[in-house]
Amino acid sequence: KAGVTQTPRYLIKTRGQQVTLSCSPISGHRSVSWYQQTPGQGLQFLFEYFSETQRNKGNFPGRFSGRQFSNSRSEMNVSTLELGDSALYLCASSKNRGSGAGANVLTFGAGSRLTVL
Amino acid sequence: TQLLEQSPQFLSIQEGENLTVYCNSSSVFSSLQWYRQEPGEGPVLLVTVVTGGEVKKLKRLTFQFGDARKDSSLHITAAQPGDTGLYLCAGAEYSSASKIIFGSGTRLSIRP
């Protein structure tokens, strides 16, 4: 079965611009989480969407936003880009059904690497 | 927000040696997961532990969840070059199990 697909894989922007990243989850997975990965900070939680609603949010400024569509596909947007936004942005999906060991297992995409100049 | 600290940050050892990676927090998690990430790819799940004191084995890898569900360890026996990668622990918050937060990672290098 197809994995998590993120587009684009690489992109270069300049300060002040905005960017939109896309994530297509595994079929049947209703939860989509976004993370920012940098060498200095590791994997930082951005937000999680479930059934088109933001259910959890990390500690990022309002310039970072996201949404989820009825087919569970998700997008995240970063406005007014700063140099420090250069990072690998990872999307992960999960079934998120019930409880127990398998309930919230994340399957990641390969990421979108953003460079801000 | 709950935090997870991993140690060591970097580890370079010879093939055949054993090693242990630690993941610690002052908070309790409903479950804890271990992932491995290779360059150019997203993290891939290795194991999930749910019960305090639980021990799981995956070939040469042994994972343990602390009795108090605040910490975990990953032990690799007879490390091989194929074990090289970034190892990440991740905890599901008690207040919202779908919010998974990650430790800072341990970058492991196995020398042939």
The CA angle A40-B33-A68, to the nearest 5 degrees, is 75
Handedness of CA B53, B29, A40, A88 (dihedral sign): positive
Q: What is the pLDDT of residue B96?
A: 79
With an 8 Å Cβ cutoff, are B96 and A55 in contact?
yes
* Least Cα separation, residue A15 to chain B (angstroms): 25
Q: Structure tokens of B104?
A: 């800072």
Helix and strand element counts for chain A (H, E)? 0, 11
Strands A64-68 and A10-13: unpaired
Three-state SS letters, A2-46: CCCEEECCEEEECCCCCEEEEEECCCCCCEEEEEEEECCCEEEEE
pLDDT tens digits, one per residue of B77-109: 999 999 999 999 999 887 777 889 999 999 999
Q: What is the pLDDT of residue B76?
A: 97
Residue type, B22: Y
Beta-carbon contacts of residue A94 (< 8 Å; ≥ 6 apart):
A29, A31, A33, A103, A104, A105, A106, A107, B98
Of the pLDDT bands very low, low, confident and very high (cuts 50, 70, 90), residue B5 is: very high
CB < 8 Å from B in window 39-78 of A: 41-45, 48, 50, 55-56, 58-59
Q: What is the pLDDT of residue A98?
A: 53
The arithmetic mean of pLDDT across residues A12-20, rounded, is 98
Q: What is the pLDDT of residue A39?
A: 87
With an 8 Å Cβ cutoff, are B43 and A90 in contact?
yes
The arithmetic mean of pLDDT across residues B59-83, rounded, is 95
Mean pLDDT (chain B) is 93
Is residue A97 pLDDT above 70, yes or no?
Answer: no
The arithmetic mean of pLDDT across residues B19-44, rounded, is 93
Of the pLDDT bands very low, low, confident and very high (cuts 50, 70, 90), residue A33 is: very high
Is residue A100 pLDDT above 70, yes or no?
Answer: no
Number of alpha carbons in the 13 Å side-chain half-sphere of residue B41: 13
Is residue A79 pLDDT above 60, yes or no?
Answer: yes
Is residue A68 pLDDT above 90, yes or no?
Answer: yes
Beta-carbon contacts of residue A48 (< 8 Å; ≥ 6 apart):
A31, A32, A33, A34, A54, A55, A56, A57, B98, B99
Residues in B closer than 8 angstroms to A45, CB to CB, are 99-102
Is residue A7 pLDDT above 60, yes or no?
Answer: yes
Beta-carbon contacts of residue A7 (< 8 Å; ≥ 6 apart):
A21, A22, A112
Select the residue of A58, A99, A111 nearest B42 (Cβ to Cβ).
A111
